[in-house]
Amino acid sequence: MKHQTCILLALLLLALPISTRAQQTSTSQTSAADRVLSDESFNQGIDAMYNLDFEEAGKRFEEVRQRFPDHPAGPYYLAANLFLRTLTKPNRLLPLLSNLSGSKTFGGNADEKVDPDTVQRFKSLMRQARLLANARLQRNSREPEALYFLGKTLGLSAAFKGTLEGSVVGAVRDASSGVDKQRDLLKLDSNFHDAELSIGLYDYTVGSLSLPIKVLAAIVNVHGSKRRGLETLERVGREGRLERYISKLILVILYKREKRYTEALAHARDLTARYPRSYLFKLAEADALVLQAAADRRTKQMAAASMEREAFAIFDSLLSSQAAQRAPVPPLELIHFIYAENLLKAGQAARAAREFLAAASAPRAEAPIVTIAHLRGAQAFDLAGRRREALAEYDIVMKRLNVYHSRERAARGLRKPYKE
């Protein structure tokens, strides 16, 4: 149950609105909302945020807040931008991505604390957004846009608590309340498909529970379906306005879990086409390519080799000097580490070891990432049959600060070679 809850929280943290101008608004949304969502600064801020240019996004969302002082969008997106900026630091993002993939590389807790000023700033912005949404609902209790943003503030608060503060109980409470608000919204406007994102996630997560837990959940009238959840998320990806692309990102994650790699890759390609400067979306595409290649290796060897080459070309492009000249600069330790993990999936352990060591030596790599990179490098050397080099890396891990049970795992590696 705890594992499934963590999956839900990790996915909810991604449930941040993305705007697309091509989609028409629901007929019942207000003209005031249309003015905000079609505002040039708003759309520039969205593009910047999901291309990971957080500095530019913050400037644009501050302009939105000044231009529309009675609308919750300004403070909400400032909070979302701050959250993503904090979350996408490699020392937080790598463990999250690893856990989402089902890996145990970052098992345990590194006790990573969030800067108190960041927490205070986030909570202040959330409070402003919530007050503005409630004020609009007091004037018009049937305003879909206000109800939508009220639900989103609860969802974003849940994401912050669950991923950055470690408060699972508080996160679940806020997430549940947020889903309730989106259900209330759909009662007012069944065409407000963006509201279905959280509901689709909820359906999928409950549907993923083991049978005994499902039975207990049914007793308290909690029901879900993986199939229905995926169908709902697909509908948001087609017909949503604010959530279209984030729904695609979530579908990439879920389809990988379901081993439906063709669908995962299709959505990943859509994301990189829409946000070409986002290295995170490129990483998602490369990972989907490697997984599809692994699935096809026995029956479609040439196609699998082609997909692997395409995936590795994406990693190489992110590590190139040209990539470093563009904003935002991809964190080298993040790219090298994920590249290495994908090389392992492709059975190229020796190359993987080199990439892990490159991650460990990246100029800005923080101590926990350096330690785990050395550990994974040692394990990759073992898989490549290079025991002497593996032992040297395990020795390095034993001398470093113990994070994610690194010393215990290195001690096992010293006793006998690592096997997957």
Confidence band for 360, pLDDT divided at 50, 70 and 90: very high
C-alpha dist (Å) from residue 366 to 94, 330, 362:
12, 15, 9
**Is the CB of residue 233 less than 8 Å from the CB of residue 201?**
yes
**Is the CB of residue 68 less than 8 Å from the CB of residue 60?**
no
Question: In Å, how far from its chain's centre is CA 77?
Answer: 17
The tokens for 11 are 């996915």
Using one digit for the tens of pLDDT, what is the confidence trace for 289-317?
999 999 998 899 999 999 999 999 999 99
Q: How far apart are CA 179 and CA 63, in angstroms?
A: 29
- The pLDDT of 75-93, averaged and rounded, is 92
Using one digit for the tens of pLDDT, what is the confidence trace for 212-238?
665 555 554 556 788 999 999 999 999
Q: At which residue do the structure tokens 């026995």 appear? A: 298
C-alpha dist (Å) from residue 210 to 21, 106, 200, 341:
40, 24, 18, 29
Q: State the pTM of this model.
A: 0.85
- The pLDDT of 358-366, averaged and rounded, is 96
Q: What is the reported pLDDT for 35? A: 82
Q: What is the reported pLDDT for 33? A: 61
333 vs 189, higher pLDDT: 333
Q: At which residue do the structure tokens 């407000």 appear? A: 192
Does residue 244 surpass a pLDDT of 60? yes
**Is the CB of residue 311 less than 8 Å from the CB of residue 255?**
no
Q: How far apart are CA 232 and CA 206, in angstroms?
A: 14
- HSE-up (13 A, CA, CB side) for residue 338: 33
The tokens for 56 are 């530019």
Q: How far apart are CA 102 and CA 264, in angstroms?
A: 16
Confidence band for 260, pLDDT divided at 50, 70 and 90: very high
For the chain, the average pLDDT equals 86
DSSP string, 348-406: -HHHHHHHHHHHHT-TT--HHHHHHHHHHHHHHHHHTT-HHHHHHHHHHHHTS---TTH
How many other CB atoms sit within 10 Å of the CB of residue 98? 19
% the chain with pLDDT above 90: 54
Q: What is the reported pLDDT for 210? A: 67
- The pLDDT of 315-333, averaged and rounded, is 77
Residue 261 makes CB contacts below 8 A (sequence gap 6+) with 255, 288, 291, 292, 295
- The pLDDT of 138-157, averaged and rounded, is 89
The tokens for 117 are 């000023």
Domain layout of the chain by residue ranges: 1-258
DSSP state of 113: P
Helical H segments across 68-102, by residue range: 73-87, 90-100
Helical H segments across 25-89, by residue range: 31-37, 40-50, 54-67, 73-87
Q: What is the reported pLDDT for 19? A: 47
Confidence band for 354, pLDDT divided at 50, 70 and 90: very high
Confidence band for 23, pLDDT divided at 50, 70 and 90: very low
- The pLDDT of 116-139, averaged and rounded, is 95
Q: Of 237, 244, 231, 292, nearest to 264 (Cα)?
A: 292
Q: How far apart are CA 187 and CA 171, in angstroms?
A: 25
Report the alpha-carbon angle 139-140-143, nearest 5: 135
- HSE-up (13 A, CA, CB side) for residue 187: 9
Tell me the torsion sign for CA atoms 270, 232, 146, 21.
positive
Confidence band for 67, pLDDT divided at 50, 70 and 90: very high
First CA to last CA distance, the chain: 26
Q: How far apart are CA 247 and CA 240, in angstroms?
A: 9
Q: What is the reported pLDDT for 224? A: 74
Q: Of 314, 419, 248, 380, nearest to 256 (Cα)?
A: 248
Q: What is the reported pLDDT for 242? A: 78
Q: What is the reported pLDDT for 2? A: 46
Residue 222 burial (10 A CB sphere; 0-12, 13-18, 19+): middle
